[in-house]
Structure 1
Amino acid sequence: MTTSNPLLADWTTPFELPPFGALEPEHFREAFDATMAQARTEIDAIADAQSEPSFDNTIRALEMAGEGLSRTARTFYNLTGAHTNPELQAIEREMAPKLARHSSQTFQNARLAARIATLWDARDTLGLGREEARVLERYATMFRRAGAWLDDTAKARMAEISQRLATLGTSFAQNVLKDEAEYQLVLETDEDIAGLPDFLLSAAAEAARERGLEGKYVITLLRSSIEPFLQFSTNRTRREEAFKAWTARGENGGDTDNRALIAETVALRDERARLLGYDNFAAFKLDDSMAGTPGAVRDLLMRVWGPAVARANEEAARLEALAHASGDNGDLEPWDWRFYAERLRKAEYDLDDAELKPYLQLDRMIEAAFHTATRLFGVTFEEKTGLPVYHPDVRVFEVKDAQGRHVGLFLGDYFARASKRSGAWMSAFRSQHRLKGDVPPIIVNVMNFSRAKPGEASLLTFDDARTLFHEFGHALHGLLSNVTYPVISGTSVARDFVELPSQLYEHWLSEPEILSRFAVHYKTGEPMPQALLDKLKAAENFNQGFATVEYTACALIDQDIHTLADPAALDVTAFEKDRLASLGMPKAIVMRHRLPHFAHAFAGDGYSAGYYSYMWSEVMDADAFAAFRETGNVFDPETAEKLLTHIYSAGGLPDPAETYRAFRGRDPKIDALLESRGLAA
């Protein structure tokens, strides 16, 4: 391989970070082609080996194959999510089917599949350790689910479907990003900005400045911008305009309309599942999960749906009454809900986000997340400057254990920009493993918080702060991983288990010990008053019917669309409308993610038929935090050690249900979830 391309050379950067400053878009196309060819040579050599298959010459060898391709792909896809451009997007569209074809060529290689089948059939006689046995099981499962043992005609069709789905998922994500990047609600008059608090005006002024609209204000379709606008704007016409734009992403007609892509995706997923012998795509997807079946998922969701709808209808009646008392005599509309909910919370609890936000500085909330990890797991975080990063906003921290040994790197990318897709996520530039000595992880959290004006503190809502803790929980799951094999490293666990470490971590944000220390006023430095802490605690389940319905509707629709008996003639808009009506969706609530921009479900397979997993994990996280509370110390060292051993460091080694029982001593109870949401009878 040529070394003129930085992606194909040895990385001599500190901590072997990608050499971001030397990378150009054209480097990726060459690197993908070269590393795919190298990976194919390595994998074919494993498949064609004349020796009898063993764990080392087949499974371990596969784990070590394609290292260059993995390094290129991780760097590329982290960039296309967090800091993309038209050149990278063009390469992304080009590479999607090529990478899918490469994957099919691996998992449908008859000679390789035969070696793995031989090992799987003889697994009880191989003398494998616990970790090796789990890795063999994962490979046997991956090959089976990729169609390795289908006939040639079915395998060829499976490969075609995989390539087309890769293209559809890429187009879906790029369409949503384009809709979000191109929209801006420009505010100019006093009437336009009526009711908006200073923190939102500051962020909107900075968004306008970035777009060359100095002296004006801009609201974008990012949640951290539009949700506060809907909460505080007294201009109902502008609220309606913004809300309709927000919920219409991916459904505006033209080149970025995602409805035809969704219909084709659903049909192809269904066909793929049936080729493998499943009744539908959800049955296929859930067969490799904790839940196991669509029926188990629906049972959980419907146990929550009924109480949530009842509570939401009560909330709607109270909000409508407040609106009428304020002179708005029409029906409560979706663009009214957040506005009147904010007013009702102020009236009932003397609490609003404008009062909270001055105490929630981004930098202090980062410190709070770090401090919590130090208390629980003994790890520390030291910021490093001068290291290569892909954008000037990115901050880098070295993570060390209690003995001062290097654990890994943590990258934080916190501010919204047009080159970044919406939402918040954790990813890895490198996963922990021990195949070639101790390889430490490089983990990144990406957010979309609003940036304050230069010289001012960037402030968060409480939901923003919770998101920061959530994603940092994922980051710790990657950073604290302690396994040998990449295939089970870090967050490589069952989809409905992966949210447990992140959602569990959120609980510490609300603890008085954390808030009293880190929630300090950005101007005075004074800690959040006890009276405000008390009000925050008292109001924690306020509007919970709305929040639960908004989420659970998405999870149910995700299941419904992936269990259709005949998805061939799917009308996406009509399907969404009809299914929500049959569920009794309150008319003033819209799904948190409508289908045309439901990236979890359609920008790839990650959470497809799997959006329920947040609630499945919530059953565990509510119950798991209770384990700390029962000790009388939310930082109890013995419980924290069990949490580290069985959850955060174990990766995908143990069976999820077994490892939860090892931590808790029993299965989780759904009652804890209903109680935590204030929905228990």
Structure 2
Amino acid sequence: MNPELTEWTGPLGLPRFDLIRDEDFGPALDQTLAMAADAVEAIAANSAPPDFANTVAALEMAEEPLNRVCSVFYTLAGVDSNSAREQLQREMAPKLAAHGSKVSMDPRLYARVSAVMEGAEALSPEDRRLTELTLRGLKRAGAGLTGPARDRMAEIRQRLAVLSTEFSQNVLTDERDFVMPIGDDQLGGLPDWLLQAMKAAARERGMPGQVVTLNRSLIVPFLEYSSDRAMRQAAWGAWVARGSGEGAGGAETDNRQIVTEILGLRHERAQLLGYADFAAYKLEPEMARNAQNVRDLLMQVWTPAIQRARADEVKLTTMLHLDGVNGALEPWDWRYYAEQRRKAEHALDEAEVKPYLTLDAMIGAVFDTAHRLFGLEMREISAPLWTPAVRAWEVTRNGRHMAVFLGDYYARPSKRSGAWCSTLQSQHKLGQGQRPIVINVCNFTPPETESAPAYLSWDDAHTLFHEFGHALHNILSDVTWPSMSGTSVARDFVELPSQLYEHWLEQPEVLDRHARHAQTGAPLPQDLRDRILAAGKADTGFATTEYLESALVDLAFHTGTPPADPMARQAEILAELGAPSAIPMRHATPHFAHVFSGDGYSSGYYSYMWSEVMDADAFEAFMEKGDAMDPQTAQKLEEWILSKGDSAPADDLWLKFRERKPGVHALLKGRGLLADDSDNKGEHLV
């Protein structure tokens, strides 16, 4: 086995990606999987009476070599996929699932952890919490099952691992293989910065002229600016066709039957464990607790959102008709006319904004905000990573090493779409302790040349702040055990730090300091800043509605008996909601990766909204002090939210920070969805 896969020798403990080959991964995964199985077997077969050290703590570190190999491999599989890595993913999915089932369903481990739990009152709070979480995980995995039920559970978990891998690879194939050339006579309405990005995408693929791809940072602005309605329709059709059997991969990348099987297996899994349905199983350990609480929150927001969206639809339809187009406003029309309306009502043109939002400037804003709030310092370092475009920084505070932070910001065909934060290693205090290695991945449009600046949209800038909010959750983590560090928290709590951090982008003092014109260095004019912020709420009816549609479909799919035809059920749900046909789901079922590329967000897509209720309320804590950088509030945020991981229940941590439950008022106010700015604080979360 290549030792670089487990004993990282790069700068500041990074892996030496330049010394790792694709052919190293198969043997390394097999070897460390066997090592993990032996380590767990030794714990299960231990003849000594079970205690915290020989059972719970031992389990915590039993799979460390396997985890290190997996962290490198799955990082590369996400950011720089190729056929060899995709094939190995398919091969390893059932093996890793079988191992996970064997460990988590071992009755000997279940008995030992249960015995430790009986005496847990004598343990420290963190050790007791780890024991509680370990036992809960075993129960929810099926460790209490016996006979045929136990065997079936193992089969289900293994099959789900295979299906989720197929689902994500099908979406990636459809995204990667679609390219739509745009003729010189089809460039109407496109700003120069977008045209240059389309030319760069063509060059990257060895094509002449300019193209549209399914990179979100390219296709969304194309839908916003292109005056060619037929080309908008074609681009939008490809975007929503991903995974449907009508995408670039045709029938071979059709995810619809995969979705049906996944939903059925999840339901069966939940019922084997004694739950009515998968939503009941999945939501039990979350802050929301059950599907009714989730639906209650979503519908509180749905009503004002759909009212705003319908009022906007009337205005946009009028604009469509004035352009000489008869008929209804279509999904490929909405973004275009919303942008035209934004220009008219707020005198705002993206081309006017982008020179002030270069990637380097916004990275500077992200880092400076972290310094002012939490005292963090960033020092860029050189390291051999998976592509030269990836950047690395050492994070310190008062001279103490806190983390290594990696930023992989640009789109490329081998990278899956979207944006995310992950870790190569987590923080813990065992032995000499370990500080995290944190990665932010985005899909921004690269610059035209290496020497040219990369320009971000306002949405891109929000994404940059969002993902660094996740990074801070990992960087500032200060717990004993790796499995409860950083973002390893309840799904509907994990988005709180990321969405909260977005608020600082909109603060005048941040924009005034960092939004500088790329050519002149002039600061962002106050008038333009004010127009940007005002325009930020211009289309919230659309944005909120498309999100809620996806969240409500996800919840309905996993509540009650799973649908025999998910696509028909999706249509029924949207009809029952009265969703406008011009506002489709943000993520239609065949490419809903949050929910079907693994089950992390299954029955959990609502969590962005749940967390937004808290992030809006949390930022109010700063505003109540009259200072967005208030040091006392920042210290309290770090102490009770960012440093604690899952070392205590999320509800308890929130109450320690805010000293009351959050309500939806701040969220509705922030989205501009309140009919008036009354003092009614709305319903509280449970």
TM above 0.5: yes
- Work out the CA distance in 2 between the residues paired with 1:178 and 1:230: 22
- Does the residue aligned with 1:514 lie in a helix, a strand or coil? helix
TM superposition shift of 1:327: 2.1
CA contact (8 A) 1:192 1:235 kept: yes
Aligned CA-pair RMSD: 1.0
1:167 aligns to 2:167 (yes or no) = no
CA contact (8 A) 1:64 1:435 kept: no
1:539 aligns to 2:539 (yes or no) = no
Matching residue of 1:641: 635
Matching residue of 1:513: 509
- Work out the CA distance in 1 between the residues paired with 2:656 and 2:346: 40
1:442 aligns to 2:437 (yes or no) = yes
**Could you give the per-residue CA deviations for residues 493-526 of structure 1, whole angstroms, max 9, x where no partner exists?**
0000000000000000000001111111111111
**Could you give the per-residue CA deviations for residues 160-205 of structure 1, whole angstroms, max 9, x where no partner exists?**
000000000000000000000000111122x211110011011111
Q: Aligned AA for 2:664? A: I
1:453 aligns to 2:459 (yes or no) = no
CA contact (8 A) 2:5 2:72 kept: no
Matching residue of 2:151: 156
TM-score, length of structure 1 as denominator length = 0.97
Aligned length, in residue pairs: 670
Matching residue of 1:491: 487
- Work out the CA distance in 2 between the residues paired with 1:456 and 1:205: 14
CA contact (8 A) 1:6 1:27 kept: no
- Work out the CA distance in 2 between the residues paired with 1:410 and 1:6: 20
Q: Mapping of 1:262-411 within 5 angstroms?
A: 262-385=259-382, 387-401=383-397, 403-411=398-406
CA contact (8 A) 1:170 1:603 kept: yes
1:33 aligns to 2:30 (yes or no) = yes
Matching residue of 1:217: 210
Matching residue of 1:17: 14
CA contact (8 A) 2:276 2:560 kept: no
- Work out the CA distance in 2 between the residues paired with 1:138 and 1:352: 51
- Work out the CA distance in 2 between the residues paired with 1:602 and 1:278: 20
Matching residue of 1:672: 666
- Does the residue aligned with 1:634 lie in a helix, a strand or coil? coil
Matching residue of 1:129: 124
- Does the residue aligned with 1:490 lie in a helix, a strand or coil? coil
Matching residue of 2:681: none
CA contact (8 A) 2:9 2:15 kept: no
Q: Given the alignment, which residue of 467, 471, 480 partners 1:471?
A: 467
1:589 aligns to 2:610 (yes or no) = no
Identical positions, percent: 52
Q: Aligned AA for 2:207? A: L
CA contact (8 A) 1:398 1:408 kept: yes
Q: Mapping of 1:122-271 within 5 angstroms?
A: 122-124=119-121, 127-189=122-184, 191-214=185-208, 216-251=209-244, 252=246, 253-271=250-268
Q: Mapping of 1:615-654 within 5 angstroms?
A: 615-654=609-648
- Does the residue aligned with 1:446 lie in a helix, a strand or coil? strand
- Work out the CA distance in 2 between the residues paired with 1:80 and 1:228: 27
- Work out the CA distance in 2 between the residues paired with 1:362 and 1:653: 35
Structure 1 residues 566 and 365: alpha-carbon distance in aligned structure 2, compared to 1, 3 A threshold: closer
- Work out the CA distance in 2 between the residues paired with 1:393 and 1:564: 47
TM superposition shift of 1:12: 2.3
Q: Given the alignment, which residue of 57, 63, 68 partners 1:66?
A: 63
Q: Given the alignment, which residue of 52, 55, 78 partners 2:52?
A: 55
Q: Aligned AA for 1:149? A: G
- Work out the CA distance in 1 between the residues paired with 2:8 and 2:344: 58
TM superposition shift of 1:566: 4.5
- Work out the CA distance in 1 between the residues paired with 2:177 and 2:587: 19
Q: Given the alignment, which residue of 528, 533, 551 partners 2:547?
A: 551
Matching residue of 2:680: none
TM superposition shift of 1:64: 1.5
Structure 2 unpaired stretches of 5+: 676-686
Matching residue of 2:682: none
TM superposition shift of 1:5: 5.2
- Work out the CA distance in 2 between the residues paired with 1:152 and 1:117: 20
Matching residue of 1:7: 5
Q: Aligned AA for 2:149? A: A
- Work out the CA distance in 2 between the residues paired with 1:483 and 1:643: 15
Higher mean C-alpha displacement, 414-423 vs 191-200: 191-200
Q: Aligned AA for 1:677? A: R
- Work out the CA distance in 2 between the residues paired with 1:53 and 1:462: 55
- Does the residue aligned with 2:537 lie in a helix, a strand or coil? coil
- Work out the CA distance in 2 between the residues paired with 1:375 and 1:634: 10
CA contact (8 A) 1:432 1:482 kept: yes
**Could you give the per-residue CA deviations for residues 453-482 of structure 1, whole angstroms, max 9, x where no partner exists?**
103211011000000000000011011110
CA contact (8 A) 1:360 1:461 kept: yes
- Work out the CA distance in 2 between the residues paired with 1:341 and 1:242: 17
CA contact (8 A) 1:379 1:399 kept: yes
Q: Aligned AA for 1:165? A: L
- Work out the CA distance in 2 between the residues paired with 1:640 and 1:326: 50
TM-score, length of structure 2 as denominator length = 0.96
Off by >3 Å, runs of 4+ in structure 1: none
Structure 1 unpaired stretches of 5+: none
Matching residue of 2:500: 504
TM superposition shift of 1:436: 2.3
